[in-house]
């Protein structure tokens, strides 16, 4: 496969804005999470930002389809996703592991936990990760009325927004249980694509961290969406080996909306 290096994607992104300064280009490709910083920078900056500031910001998108389990990309990019948190001990430990390797991830949080641990949500956003909507009480959405689904998504959406100032842009249905009709109206109403997965290590069955690592590494391919759960300590134990082995193979870890922004036309 002919992989496109990250630097060339960024060059392409900036080449879209040839008449603007680097500063403006960064603003245009930046997602909502850095709006506050950018505004602060606009008021106080007296010099041009360094190129290093630009390479940390990738374009984002919610894609064109109503759901994804894998994204067709031209490069060695993967999305790591963690469901059901945040958890008061495991999620901060995971964030330390990700930070040490400069890997970005997406956290599909449950609204009840989001309300209990707003500080962890703020840390997730501050460190460049993304938060997605995983409902409020983790029901099977396919068994609920439209009004029930709407309420499950809205309460979680509002909890994340009020804690972080950044709204979720994608959702993951608990158990992957969602109908085609639900995917369509959820996209219409909330703007969320439904994000499933390409690799499921069944970490919730607690098979041991080495088994979880091996399953995630074996299942990874370009554009893959890896599922796991940051509420289980054994899953967190598995992640250093997953990151180290896949980074050694040349993969880079981006958020789901960054992966969607790399989607190639079919």
CA distance linking residue 86 with residue 117, whole number of Å:
7
Residues contacting 214, CB < 8 A, separation 6+ = none
Footprint of Zn ion (CB under 5 A) = 83-84, 174
- Of the residues 87, 229, 230, 232, only one is catalytic, namely 229
Residue whose Cβ sits closest to Zn ion: 83
* Catalytic residue status for 96: no
CA distance linking residue 207 with residue 184, whole number of Å:
35
- Nearer residue to Zn ion within complex by CB, 59 or 111: 111
- Nearer residue to Zn ion within complex by CB, 77 or 82: 82
CA distance linking residue 245 with residue 65, whole number of Å:
31
- Nearer residue to Zn ion within complex by CB, 174 or 224: 174
Could you please report the per-residue DSSP string of 169-238?
A: --B--GGG---HHHHHHHHHHH-PPEE--SB---GGG---HHHHHHHHHHH--TTBEEEEETT-HHHHHH
- Under 8 Å between Cβ of 34 and 54: no
Nearest to 224 by CA among 81, 128, 57, 62: 81
* Catalytic residue status for 129: no
Q: How far is the CB of 37 from Zn ion (least distance, A)?
A: 31
Q: How far is the CB of 75 from Zn ion (least distance, A)?
A: 28
- Under 8 Å between Cβ of 129 and 104: yes
Q: How far is the CB of 95 from Zn ion (least distance, A)?
A: 19
- Nearer residue to Zn ion within complex by CB, 200 or 237: 200
Residues contacting 191, CB < 8 A, separation 6+ = 62, 169
- Under 8 Å between Cβ of 256 and 108: no
- Nearer residue to Zn ion within complex by CB, 84 or 152: 84
Q: How far is the CB of 132 from Zn ion (least distance, A)?
A: 11
Q: How far is the CB of 110 from Zn ion (least distance, A)?
A: 7
Q: How far is the CB of 61 from Zn ion (least distance, A)?
A: 24
- Nearer residue to Zn ion within complex by CB, 83 or 246: 83
Burial class (CB in 10 A: 0-12, 13-18, 19+), 204: middle
Is the peptide bond between 30 and the residue preceding it cis, with omega within 30 degrees of 0? no
- Of the residues 83, 84, 203, 230, only one is catalytic, namely 83
- Under 8 Å between Cβ of 141 and 177: yes
Catalytic residues, which ones? Answer: 83, 229
């Amino acid at each position: 496969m002919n992989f496109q290096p990250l630097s060339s994607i960024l060059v392409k992104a900036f080449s879209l804005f040839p008449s603007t300064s680097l500063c403006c280009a960064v603003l245009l490709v930046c997602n909502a999470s850095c709006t506050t910083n950018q505004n602060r920078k606009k008021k106080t900056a007296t010099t041009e930002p360094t190129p290093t500031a630009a390479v940390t910001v990738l374009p984002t998108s919610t894609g064109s389809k109503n759901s994804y389990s894998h994204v067709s990309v031209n490069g060695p990019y993967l999305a790591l996703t963690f469901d059901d948190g945040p958890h008061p001990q495991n999620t901060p430990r995971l964030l330390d592991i990700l930070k040490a390797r400069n890997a970005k991830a997406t956290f599909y949080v449950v609204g009840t936990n989001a309300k209990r641990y707003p500080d962890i949500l703020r840390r997730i956003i501050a460190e460049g990760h993304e938060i997605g909507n995983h409902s409020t009480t983790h029901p099977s959405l396919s068994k609920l009325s439209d009004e029930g689904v709407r309420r499950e998504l809205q309460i979680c959406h509002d909890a994340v927004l009020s804690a972080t100032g950044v709204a979720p842009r994608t959702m993951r249905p608990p158990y992957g249980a969602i109908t085609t009709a639900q995917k369509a109206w959820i996209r219409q109403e909330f703007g969320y694509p439904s994000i499933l997965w390409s690799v499921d290590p069944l970490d919730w069955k607690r098979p041991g961290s080495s088994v979880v690592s091996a399953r995630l590494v074996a299942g990874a391919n370009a554009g893959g969406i890896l599922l796991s759960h940051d509420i289980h300590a054994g899953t967190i134990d598995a992640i250093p080996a997953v990151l180290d082995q896949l980074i050694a193979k040349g993969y880079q870890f981006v958020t789901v909306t960054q992966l969607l922004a790399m989607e190639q036309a079919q």
